[in-house]
Amino acid sequence: MPVTALRGRNDYVPEEHARQWSAHTARFTHRQVGSHFPFRDDVAAYCAAVDVLMTEAVHAYQEERNR
């Protein structure tokens, strides 16, 4: 199962902590979006990031299905 960690640019959680999720999946990505609470403080940036992730997932699914 792919995992994407969304982390705020000025987050108090260190980037290396977010990247530890990579130990639990073969497909890990990390994106920085807004502040620690991007879904509250920067809704547009958070929604745009989720939109990109969903679009990528749909395209990957379609490519896999067409093989």
* Structure confidence at residue 65 (pLDDT): 93
Q: Where are the domains of the chain?
A: 3-65
Q: Name the residue type at position 65.
A: R
CB atoms within 10 A of CB 66: 6
38 touches 65 (CB < 8 A): no
- Tokens 């990109």 correspond to 52
36 touches 13 (CB < 8 A): yes
* Structure confidence at residue 16 (pLDDT): 92
Q: Name the residue type at position 20.
A: Q
* Structure confidence at residue 41 (pLDDT): 78
Whole-prediction pTM value?
Answer: 0.69
Six-digit token string for 2:
């792919």
Q: What is the pLDDT along the chain (67 residues), one digit of tens a residue?
A: 789 988 888 788 888 998 999 999 988 988 888 777 767 778 888 888 899 999 998 998 899 999 8
* Structure confidence at residue 42 (pLDDT): 81
